[in-house]
Structure 1
Amino acid sequence: MKPTRFIDSANCAIEGILYTARTQKHMRNHFLAALVVLIATLFLHVTALEFILLTLSVSFVLFAELMNTAVEVVVDLVSPEYHPLAKIAKDTAAGAVLVAAIGTAVMGYLILSHYIFPVYKEMLGMIGTPTEMGTLVSILIVVIVVIIIKTRTSRGTPLQGGLPSGHAALAFSIATSVSLNTKDPMVSILTIALATMVSHSRLLLNIHSLREVVLGALTGTGITLAVLLLFKVAG
């Protein structure tokens, strides 16, 4: 029955939000991202206008996810069995969430990058500029260490599976080297994003577990940082 009191309507709305957060992993991720953004605004001291724009963007993503869940529930109610039109309805609703998320990401980048990038660039500058030889040696050491670890664990093959993920280690080693050589925050973020995509592909292909990928990423990043810092000190 349709609620007649405002408090009853509010309770129904809250129940819908709680149901979505409880059943939809993406909604929980959106809430977590919103929490991170809100905390960041406090530390970065953004302007009132920037805070309003960020709040509207985050609210739009949450709204789109709520509508997506509503569409999915209605489609399942009307068409419990598979139907091409039901798939189109669900895919379109999910596409709306993706569009909203991309728009919010762009808005967040345009606002927060002005506060974060200068600090990030300063941190990269504090490490110093590695030598060309140091960059090459660090990548080779990462490859050798991965091979040694794979030999000791006797899991998978040299190019597929095993602990740690060689693809993740090498990808993050290169991303670390590029970040320190360019000292450009945008280039650094893009290369790290690319390394993350390479690592994620190993999970999608069921070649590595999450533990193996994370260990590979840490191995590549840690060894590269250590070698480049040593070369900087030696120089």
Structure 2
Amino acid sequence: MSNINPPSSDDNFASNLKGKTGVKRIIKAAGYSADGFKAAYKYEAAFRQVCWLSLVLLIAIIFIPFALNIKMMLILASFLSLIVELFNTGIEASIDHTSTEQHPLAKIGKDVGSAAQFLALTLLFILWLMALWSLY
């Protein structure tokens, strides 16, 4: 059993955040999410690229006569690529915060995040090929 107790100071930033409940917490969380989107869009070119790609693909979904289930799958894959890019951006920011020096573990962390995004975009590409193929 551990004798380590979390700090009980109300002056602690994390404690103040965790103390919020109900609607106040939801409003704060929405603000943090908006801040996250803004930061990713402002500082990460890859996130901007995936945003614009997703927008173009979502517009295409409106005009291409896919079945509803195919449209849903394509939208899901677009959102998945955005989500993975947000995680990848967070990983990179955390690693860079720790140190910007080259380190084998930092490289692994960044490369794994990049690989996850590669898989998400590959999935998106394959699903689009399959969806377009289904029209013919």
Relative to the length of structure 1, the TM-score reads 0.47
Alignment of 1:151-166 (within 5 A): none
Residue of structure 2 aligned with 1:90, choices 102, 110, 119: 110
Give the secondary-structure state (helix, strand or coil) at the position aligned to 1:82.
coil
1:24-103 matches, cutoff 5 A: 24-103=44-123
Query: Larger RCO: Structure 1 or Structure 2 (Cα < 8 Å, ≥ 6 residues apart)?
Result: 2
Deviations 1:5-64 (A, max 9, x none): 201101101111111111111111111111111111111122211111011101110011
Superposed, which structure 2 residues align to 1:204-215 within 5 Å?
none
Bigger-Rg structure (1/2): 1
Deviations 1:106-132 (A, max 9, x none): 0111113444xx6xxxxxxxxxxxxxx
Q: What is the alpha-carbon distance in structure 1 between the residues aligned to residue 129 and residue 37 of structure 2? A: 27
Matches within 5 A, 1:1-235: 1=13, 2=17, 4=20, 5-115=25-135
1:87 offset after TM fit, Å? 1.0
| Partner Cα distance (2:133, 2:49) in 1 | 21
Question: Given residue 103 of structure 1, which amino acid in structure 2 is its aligned partner?
Answer: L
Q: Distance in 2 between matches of 1:19 and 1:111?
A: 33
CA distance in 2, matches of 1:63, 1:102: 14
Which residue identity lines up with residue 43 of structure 2 in the other structure? T
The alignment's C-alpha RMSD in Å is 1.5
Give the TM-score normalised by the residue count of structure 2.
0.78
1:79 Cα deviation from its structure 2 partner: 2.2
CA distance in 2, matches of 1:34, 1:80: 31
Q: Structure 1 pair 14/112, CA: closer, same or farther in 2 (3 Å)? A: farther
Gaps of 5+ in 2: 1-12
Letter in 2 for 1:26: A
Structure 1: 4+ residue segments shifted above 2 A: 1-4, 112-115
Instruction: Give the Cα separation in 2 of the matches to 1:7 and 1:113.
Output: 43
